[in-house]
A and B are shown apart, each in its own frame.
Chain A
Amino acid sequence: MKAVYALYQDGHSAQQAVSRLHAAGVNDRDITIQSAQPMEDFKFGHRDKATWMWWIACGGALIGMSSALGLAWLTEMSWPINVGGLPIFAWWPNLIITFELTMLGAILATVITLVMTARLGRGSDIYDAEVSDGKILVGVVNPSESALAGLEAALTAPAGAQLKKI
């Protein structure tokens, strides 16, 4: 069997199922949860919250800023035109280009981090189209045969659970 999972109508039932799976000795990492919207009002909705995305965005901003300064420096020094003794590399006008590319760097770094860390484009082992209708999926991938009865009991304990196996 590839996976066993159940669909729930609401977050309370899903939370009960997750708690029972924990009680049955299933590691948090092995429980798959899917929902049609963020479920931050429930404990299971706070899984995997920690992220380096903010720092990576700052890193992207630094790369963008360095690129802008490098581009402005390289181009202005490559063709220096002396106009009444004004500086060849002028900070004030170059700040505008620098600002734009700094922000662009932060934005692109954020999007790349999202794609990489949210595992976009890679799918997952379990999915049920009923999640789109508001049901919440709680399941375990590749369960051992010996643990199956316990898992099924935990998943079907909340009222209205709809058990499925694939």
Chain B
Amino acid sequence: MTPSHSQINSDLLRPLLKTSWKFYAIVAVLGAIVVAALLSWFSQMFFGFGISGIRWPIYWAFYVTSFVFWIGISHAGTLISAILRLVDAGWRRPVTRCAEVITVFALMIGALFPIIHLGRPWLAFWLFPYPSERLIWPNFRSPLVWDFFAINTYLTGSVLFLFLPMIPDFAVVRDKSTGLRRRIYTLLALGWRGTPKQWHRLESAMAIMAIAIVPVAVSVHTIVSFDFSMAPVPMWQSTIFGPYFVAGAIFSGIAGLLIAMAVLRRVLHLEQYLHPIHFENLGKLLLVMALLWGYFVFNERLVTYYGNEPSEMAVFWRTQRESFAPLYWTMVIGNFVLPLVLMGIKRFRTITGCVIASFGVVVGMWLERFLIIVPSLGHKYLPYSYGIYRPQPVEIIIAGATFAAMTLLYVLFVKIVPIISIWELKAGDHQPPPDAHPAAEARRLGEQH
């Protein structure tokens, strides 16, 4: 049965207006893990990189792996939401905000890693385009500066893309709350009244931003791939890295979204809004991306094998059957076998099946980033540059704590903003007049999956 408008308000505002002890317990546990990571970071700044496993020739390891991984996860939200908005998929309505939030927080966490990786983070401003006293400007031909522009554009666009459709929902919270909370939401609602003009402008703005944000999202991960493919390192200098990274990013993003939706559904009792059909549809997308990922890996491996270039073949065999083989085959199982079986067979395409497959993909995609970086850097062209990498506790704590940081940010967000867009849900439910325009009626029917 379709819930009434009052019930939608009541169900979706409940997490904001009522706080149980479980919320404080979760925040305390996650906060403690984040504090542990911050202490580890400070100790790394104080004692230097000697306490980490990063040393010549492997300077990029856990931190850059986590950077690429989180930027990839960020593709869950804005990109998927923008595509679903552009194709006017009705089933997107309960999903978009869950997804867009992931983008903003994953980008924030991802963008932190180049700073952690600097060693002297107070010099991060050297990346900014400003004239220094030495008359040296940042090199605009460096992929690292491209990263700066791409990530900041994507972050700005994603924050606005998330914020704009929240304005009408802030107005609902304003109308349903009292005291200080009401004053805060009055400010956030920006005087929203819901006039036809405001709705048209908001929808036009969302349409323009959806069109603008899709190429930006694609460019972000393409540019992240340039960090590797522009360098003469075995198995890095590849023309397929751009689309390979973009596909991998969307893949891991969908997996992250599925996990977040399943947790929200369970914890916030959103069974009336997040239906099994939403998981099934996203599960099908996960299957498509798993096949695409397999296609890219097949291409990359086959071309390298046929090329038979000695330095590349050394890295190839290290990952296929030598020291990195356990990680490589775990990646293949997580990214390909598991989603193929669970999402390919209809009876397994349940919420539980989606969550299991998604966990496999998240682990697999983190390993994929690690396996791109470390085996190649540890076995370049000449024997003098061979090396091994052993992650140290400081790196493991920081990289692991980012998952706690992501969850913490998500929990805090759910406490202050309705996690499902209230107005979009209502817009999808209202009944048209008997004399509705045929195009409007066709659109409405199309929206109901």
Contact indicator B153/A127 (Cβ below 8 Å): no
Please, which residues of chain A bring their CB within 8 A of the CB of B153? 100-101, 103-104, 107
Stretch at the interface among B46-54, B58-66, B185-193, B257-265: B185-193
Contact indicator A114/B137 (Cβ below 8 Å): no
Chain B interface mostly: helix
Question: Which residues B387-445 have CB closer than 8 A to chain A?
Answer: 423-424, 426-427, 430-433, 436-437, 440, 444
A100-B216, A101-B153 given; A124·B176 CB < 8 A: no
Please, which residues of chain B bring their CB within 8 A of the CB of A117? 197, 201
Interface residue from B138, B201, B423, B444 paired with A41 (Cβ < 8 Å): B444
Asked if B213 is at the interface of the complex by the 8 Å CB criterion, the answer is yes
Question: Which residues A78-122 have CB closer than 8 A to chain B?
Answer: 78-79, 90, 93-94, 96-97, 99-101, 103-104, 106-108, 110-111, 113-115, 117-122
Whole-angstrom CA separation of A121 from B187 in the bound complex: 8
Asked if B19 is at the interface of the complex by the 8 Å CB criterion, the answer is no
Stretch at the interface among A19-27, A48-56, A145-153, A154-162: A48-56
- Report the minimal beta-carbon distance from B433 to chain A, rounded to whole angstroms: 5
Question: Which residues B24-83 have CB closer than 8 A to chain A?
Answer: none
Contact indicator A93/B198 (Cβ below 8 Å): no
Whole-angstrom CA separation of A15 from B435 in the bound complex: 12
- Report the minimal beta-carbon distance from A92 to chain B, rounded to whole angstroms: 9
Interface residue from A10, A47, A115 paired with B197 (Cβ < 8 Å): A47
Question: Which residues B118-161 have CB closer than 8 A to chain A?
Answer: 129, 131, 135-138, 140-141, 145-146, 149-150, 153, 156-157, 160
Q: Find the residue from A32, A72, A120, A121 having the highest chain B CB count within 10 A.
A: A120
Please, which residues of chain B bring their CB within 8 A of the CB of A94? 140
A100-B150, A129-B175 given; A124·B200 CB < 8 A: no
Please, which residues of chain B bring their CB within 8 A of the CB of A42? 433
A41-B430, A75-B140, A114-B164 given; A123·B175 CB < 8 A: no
A110-B205, A134-B5 given; A127·B427 CB < 8 A: no
Contact indicator A118/B201 (Cβ below 8 Å): yes
A35-B194, A36-B5, A49-B200 given; A100·B208 CB < 8 A: no
Please, which residues of chain B bring their CB within 8 A of the CB of A133? 5-6, 9
Contact indicator B135/A79 (Cβ below 8 Å): yes
Please, which residues of chain A bring their CB within 8 A of the CB of B433? 11-12, 15, 41-42
Please, which residues of chain A bring their CB within 8 A of the CB of B326? none
Interface residue from A75, A96, A111 paired with B129 (Cβ < 8 Å): A75
Asked if B271 is at the interface of the complex by the 8 Å CB criterion, the answer is no
Asked if B309 is at the interface of the complex by the 8 Å CB criterion, the answer is no
A100-B149, A132-B9, A133-B5 given; A114·B196 CB < 8 A: no
Contact indicator A11/B193 (Cβ below 8 Å): no
Asked if A34 is at the interface of the complex by the 8 Å CB criterion, the answer is yes
Bitwise interface map of B from 193 to 216 toward A, beta carbon under 8 Å scored 1, else 0 = 111111111111100110011011
Please, which residues of chain A bring their CB within 8 A of the CB of B193? 34, 123-124, 127, 131
Whole-angstrom CA separation of A12 from B432 in the bound complex: 9
Residue of B nearest to A120 (CB): B190
Contact indicator B149/A37 (Cβ below 8 Å): no
Contact indicator A46/B196 (Cβ below 8 Å): yes
The number of chain A residues touching the other chain, given as a range, is 35 or more
- Report the minimal beta-carbon distance from A14 to chain B, rounded to whole angstroms: 11
Contact indicator B423/A54 (Cβ below 8 Å): no
Interface residue from B172, B205, B437, B444 paired with A36 (Cβ < 8 Å): B172
Contact indicator A120/B444 (Cβ below 8 Å): no
- Report the minimal beta-carbon distance from A38 to chain B, rounded to whole angstroms: 4
Asked if A30 is at the interface of the complex by the 8 Å CB criterion, the answer is no
Whole-angstrom CA separation of A113 from B197 in the bound complex: 13
Asked if B219 is at the interface of the complex by the 8 Å CB criterion, the answer is yes
Please, which residues of chain A bring their CB within 8 A of the CB of B167? 120
Please, which residues of chain B bring their CB within 8 A of the CB of A40? 440
Whole-angstrom CA separation of A127 from B198 in the bound complex: 14
Please, which residues of chain A bring their CB within 8 A of the CB of B436? 41
Please, which residues of chain B bring their CB within 8 A of the CB of A108? 156
Please, which residues of chain B bring their CB within 8 A of the CB of A119? 191, 197-198
Please, which residues of chain B bring their CB within 8 A of the CB of A107? 153, 156-157, 160, 209, 212-213
Interface residue from B137, B149, B204 paired with A79 (Cβ < 8 Å): B137
Asked if A45 is at the interface of the complex by the 8 Å CB criterion, the answer is yes
Asked if B4 is at the interface of the complex by the 8 Å CB criterion, the answer is yes
Contact indicator B176/A37 (Cβ below 8 Å): no
Supply 5 further A-B pairs (C-beta < 8 A) apart from A107-B156, A117-B201: A36-B426, A46-B196, A53-B204, A78-B137, A100-B146
B residues with CB within 8 A of A: 4-6, 9, 129, 131, 135-138, 140-141, 145-146, 149-150, 153, 156-157, 160, 164, 167-168, 171-172, 175-176, 190-205, 208-209, 212-213, 215-216, 219, 223, 423-424, 426-427, 430-433, 436-437, 440, 444
The 30 sampled A-B contact pairs (Cβ below 8 Å) are: A34-B194, A34-B195, A35-B196, A37-B199, A38-B423, A39-B196, A39-B430, A41-B436, A41-B444, A46-B196, A48-B196, A57-B208, A75-B131, A75-B138, A93-B141, A96-B219, A97-B146, A99-B219, A100-B149, A106-B212, A107-B153, A107-B156, A107-B157, A107-B213, A111-B209, A115-B190, A117-B197, A120-B198, A131-B175, A132-B176
Q: Which 10 A-B pairs have the closest CB atoms?
A: A134-B5, A48-B197, A129-B175, A75-B137, A123-B191, A118-B201, A41-B432, A37-B427, A132-B175, A38-B199
